[in-house]
Chain A
Amino acid sequence: MQHKIIDIEDVVIRFAGDSGDGMQLTGTLFADSSALFGNEISTFPDYPAEIRAPQGTVSGVSGFQVHIGSVEINTPGDFCDVLVAMNPAALMANAKWAKPTATIILDEDAFDEKGIQRAGFKTMNPIEELGIGDRNIIVSPITTLTKESLKDSGLDLKSIVRCKNMFTLGMCFFMFNKELDHTFEYLERKFKKKPALIETNKKVLKDGFNYASNIHAIANTYYVQPAKQEKGTYRNINGNQATAWGLLAASEKSGVPLFCGSYPITPATAILEELAIHKELKAKTLQCEDEIAGICTAIGAAYAGNFAVTTTSGPGLSLKSEALGLAMITELPLVLVDVQRSGPSTGIPTKTEQTDLNQALYGRNGECPIMVMAAHSPSDCFEKAFYAGKFAMEHMMPVILLTEGFLGNGSEPWKIPSMKDLPEIHPPFIKDASECGGKFSPFERDPETFVRRWALPGTPGLEHRVGGLEKSPAGVISSDPQNHQHMVNMRAKKVAHAAVDIPPLKVIGDESGEVLIVGWGGTFGHLYTAVKEFHKQGKSVSLAHFDYINPLPLNTEEVFSKFRKIIVCELNSGQFADYLRAKHQKFHYYQLNKVQGQPFIVKDVVDAVNNLL
C-alpha cells in the first residue's frame, strides 16, 4: 500500500517501557538522528531512581520524550503525538500524556493477563479502561517479531528479547521518514569489539522499519523538515556535558588547569564522568570518599593554583555547606555546580526541581554571601559554566552554578561556539614578591573591585597563611571587632560588585505592558513558549528570565517597574519570589509554583497568566 507522507511543523514522541527495556537509548538515538538531520529538538528523560525497578510495575516505568520540529523548539513538549508503550505499565503511566489525536504503539506480547494485572489495571481491557479507544492504536507483537528477526543470530533468548527496543526504533524511523545511517554508525562505534552485535542490531532495526512499512495500520507517515537554523556547525548536547565543557573552556581560556573533586550523585554524576575523560586537556578529577572531601580537595587545589570545581546535587550541597564558608572566607576561586533534584533529603532523586535556591543563597553559617547563577537550557550550561569559572577566578570567590536534572539530562542541538569568541579570563595572580614590595598581605584588595591577589605556593617570598579563622588584611588571625566588621563588609561588597560584570536583564517581548513573567533556570523553555503563544494572540505579556541571581542584574528594578503585574514562575514553593520581595520590596509578586518533580506544562503558565490579564 502506498502510504501518504504528511508534512508537519513539530511532533512529540514519548518512548515508555520497563526500566530495563532500553527506552533511554531508544529515545536518545531518535533524538540524535533528528538533530543530525537538522531538526530542532528538545528531550526529557523521565526515569525511576531504581536501576531495575520491579518489572512490569508502574513504578518501574522509564520514559524518554523527544520533541522535534522544523520550527524553533524550546521544550520537550507537554503532550505527545506518538506514544510507544512497551508494556501495560508504560501505558498506564503515560496514557495521560497522549494527545487526543495521538498514535499509540503497543507491544502486544506484553499485554498478557499477568502484565495487565501487574500494571494495576482492574480489567483485562486497558484501552477501554483508560478511555483511549479513539486514539490511533497500533498493536504489534514486537517481542515475537524481534525473536523471529533474530532467530538465526546465535544469540540467547534473553539477549534477543533485549533487542526489541531497536525493532521499535525501526518502526518509529519509518513513521517519521528518518534515515537509519546515524544509528548504524552508533552501533558500529558501540559494538566495535563485538562485530556480531553490530549486524544483529542493524538487522532488527531494519526489520522493524520494514515491518512498519508493510503493515496497513500506519497509513500516514510524517515528515518534519529541517529547521531554519543559523549558519554554522551544530552538535547535539545535554546539560551535564555542556557544563563539563564550559568548565574545560574556562580552564583553557585562563590557562589554569582544571581540578574537579567530586562524589557521584544523581543527576550530577555525568559531569564528573565527562571531566574524567578529558585528561588530554589537563583536567584532573578526583572521585572522593565523600561530598565534603569533594569540595575540600577542590579548595586545596585552588590554594595550590588550579581552577577548582566540585559538582553535586542538593543533598551534596548540604554536606558541602561548611566548606563553602571556608572557600568564601579564604577568598579562593571555586565553582560548585548543583544539578538540582527533587528534595528534601533524598527526595525523588531522578526528578527535576528548583528547590535548592534558598540553600544556595543562604545555607551557611555566618555572613556568607556567595555568587549564585543558573543555566536556562541544556546548551546554556556551557556558557554559564564558563562564566562561573570566569567570575570565580577573576573575583577570587566561590560561585554556585545551579542547573537542574531537567537540563542536565535533557539535550538540544547547539551551534558550536568558537573559542575565539569567548572572553579572556585573567585571574589576579601575583607572580613575584616585588609586586608587593616584598611583603605579601593576602587580604589586601583592589580598591575598586575588592578582589584580593592569588599567590601560589612555590613562589618565593609570598609565603602566607589563610584559613577559616577571621584574619586582618595582612593575613594575621584577628578577633578585633572592628576588623571583623570590616572584613564582613569587604567580602559582601566584593560579591555585590560582581553585578557590574553581569549582563543586564533582557526582556523578551515589549519592554513595558500588562504582565511580566519572571523565571530563572531551566523553566526558560516553557516560559518562553508560553510568551510566544501570548504574542501570537497579541496579548501584552513579556518574559524576564534571570541567569544571575546573586547579585541580581543592576537593571532589575528598572525592568520590573514597567509592568503592571509581575508573576514569578518556578519549580518550588516560591523561593525566588521571596528573594525578590526582600531585594526589591516595592513590587507585588504573583506566583506560579509547582513541586511535583516535573517541569512546567506550558498550559499551566498560560492559564496562570490569563488569570492576571
Chain B
Amino acid sequence: MKYTAQDFKSNQEVRWCPGCGDHSVLASLQRALPQVAEDLGYSMERFVFVSGIGCSSRLPYYMNTYGFHGIHGRATAISTGMKVANPTLSIWQATGDGDALAIGGNHFIHAIRRNIDINIVLFNNRIYGLTKGQYSPTSPLGKITKTSPYGTVEHPFNPGALVMGARGTFFARSIDSELKLNQEIFVASAKHDGCSVTEMLVNCVIYNDGSHREISDKEVKADRTIVLRHGERMIFGKDRNKGLVLVNKELKVVTIGEGGVTEDDILIHDAHTADMGMHSMLIDMKWPEYPVALGVIRDVPDKTYDDNVRDQLEEVRAKSTIHNMEELLHSGSTWEVK
C-alpha cells in the first residue's frame, strides 16, 4: 500500500508554539514514513512512536500510528522493551536534550551500546522548554537562563560524542528547517539495522530563539555547515569551493583552486567504515573553525541486540531437552511418594 504524509497525520491538534522547530521535524517524519513504508514493505500498523517528557515528546499524539507517551527520560527503556518483545515493529523515539541526555542519559547510552534497533530522534533545542526556560545538558557554557541567571558554569554534551563513546552504529545531524535532508536521514535511519540517533538542531522560539542561528540562517548556512553523504567528497560553501582535507591527522578546511588544491584532494565521506576516528572528528567540528557536519555521519552495519536475543533463544530451544512447563517441573532431582 502506498501512503502519503497525510496518512500519518493524526486528528489531534498540534499544540506546539507557532514557529517552534518541532513542527518541521514532525512534517519531515510524516513525509519520510511513506518512503520508509514503501522501501521496506511496512504497513502503517508496524510503526510505533515512543516518547518521554518534554515539548518534543508530545509527538506521538500527532502521528496516526501506535504511540506511547512515557515518563521523563525513560522513552529509550520503553522502546527497548517494545523492540525486544516484538522485533517486527518499526520503533521511533521522539526525545529532547533534557529527556535523553539529562534524566534519561543512562538509558540513552545503554541503548546505543546494545545496538537495539530503534530510531531515536533527538530534538536538541539546548533548553528546557516545557518547564519554561532552564538550561539543559546541551546549553553552551555561560548560557543565561532562569536557573543560571549569571550564566551556566558547566560544559555541554555533544550528543554525537556520546553516541561515539557508546560505540554507536548510526549518527546523523540536521537542522529542523531542512525538510529534504531530514527525510533523507529518516529513511536512512529506518534502513539502518541497529540503534540510530539523529540529532535535530531545533529552534525554541520562546525560550531559546536563534540558538542555532549562527549556522542555520539562510545567508550563512552554506558556508557554516557541510552536508555529508556517503561516497561523496566533503565539499561545502555557497560556491561549492570549500572542502575538508586531512593534514597531520587533523581535519583542515581548504579552498579548491587555492594553493594548488584540486577537488581530487578533498576527502570522500565513508559513513560505513567501522573506524571511529574520522567520524569522531566530523562530529566534533564546530563553527567558526570548521563547518558543522550535517547528514548521515556514521552508518555502520552490525548485529543488533534484538537479533542476538532471537538467535540465542532459537539456539537454546534447539538444544534443550525441556520443551514445556510440565517437563521443566519434572526436570532435575525429583522423588515419588507412593
- The residues of A with any CB-CB pair to B shorter than 8 Å are 32, 35-36, 38, 182, 185, 229-236, 245, 248-249, 252, 257, 259, 261, 278-282, 284, 286, 288-290, 292-293, 296-306, 308, 322-323, 325-326, 330, 415-419, 456-469, 476-477
Contact = CB atoms under 8 A, between A and B. Distances in A.
Nearest to A300: B81
A463 B44 contact: yes
Contacts of B325: 245, 248-249, 252, 281, 419
B337 A468 contact: no
B323 interface: yes
Interface string B14-52: 000000000000000000000000000001111010110
B322 A234 contact: no
Main secondary structure of the interface of A (DSSP, over half): mixed
Nearest to A186: B333
B86 A457 contact: yes
B45 A298 contact: no
B181 interface: no
A171 to B, nearest CB: 23
Contact of B44 (A235, A301, A419, A460): A460
B263 to A, nearest CB: 46
A297 B81 contact: yes
A460 B45 contact: yes
Contacts of B85: 257, 259, 284, 300-302, 304-306, 308
B89 interface: yes
A323 B110 CA distance: 19
A260 B278 CA distance: 39
A290 B77 CA distance: 10
A252 B326 CA distance: 10
B66 A464 contact: yes
Interface string B95-113: 0000000000011001000
Contacts of B298: none
Contact of A457 (B66, B70, B328): B66
B163 to A, nearest CB: 16
Given A233-B335, A417-B329, A296 B74 contact: yes
Nearest to A252: B325
B74 A323 contact: yes
10 contacts: A185-B333, A229-B337, A286-B84, A293-B110, A297-B77, A304-B83, A322-B71, A323-B71, A466-B67, A468-B70
Given A38-B335, A234-B334, A468-B70, 8 more contacts: A233-B337, A280-B320, A282-B313, A296-B77, A300-B80, A326-B70, A418-B326, A466-B68
Contact of B45 (A245, A322, A457, A466): A457
The list of the 10 closest CB pairs from A to B, nearest first, reads A467-B69, A300-B81, A297-B81, A296-B77, A280-B320, A465-B67, A301-B85, A304-B85, A300-B78, A300-B82
B64 A298 contact: no
Contacts of B148: none
Nearest to B106: A289
Contact of A300 (B65, B79, B317, B322): B79
Contact of A279 (B53, B74, B316): B316
Most buried by B among A279, A296, A418: A296
A234 B329 contact: no
Contacts of A466: 67-69
A539 B325 CA distance: 44
A32 B74 contact: no
A233 B331 CA distance: 11
B92 to A, nearest CB: 12
Nearest to A418: B326
B61 interface: yes
A561 B264 CA distance: 94
B77 A281 contact: no
Contacts of A235: 329-330, 332-335
A461 B82 contact: no
A461 B7 CA distance: 12
B312 interface: yes
A462 B48 CA distance: 12
Nearest to B322: A280
B309 A292 contact: no
A598 to B, nearest CB: 30
A33 B28 CA distance: 67
Contact of A289 (B51, B107, B324): B107
Given A293-B74, A419-B325, A463-B64, A286 B81 contact: yes
Contacts of B10: 465
A236 B329 CA distance: 11
B250 interface: no
Nearest to B310: A284
A396 B205 CA distance: 41
A303 B326 contact: no
Contacts of B61: 465, 477
Contacts of A325: 71
A416 B44 CA distance: 46
A298 B66 CA distance: 17
A292 B77 contact: yes
Given A323-B74, A419-B325, A463-B66, A279 B313 contact: yes
Contacts of B159: none
B338 interface: yes
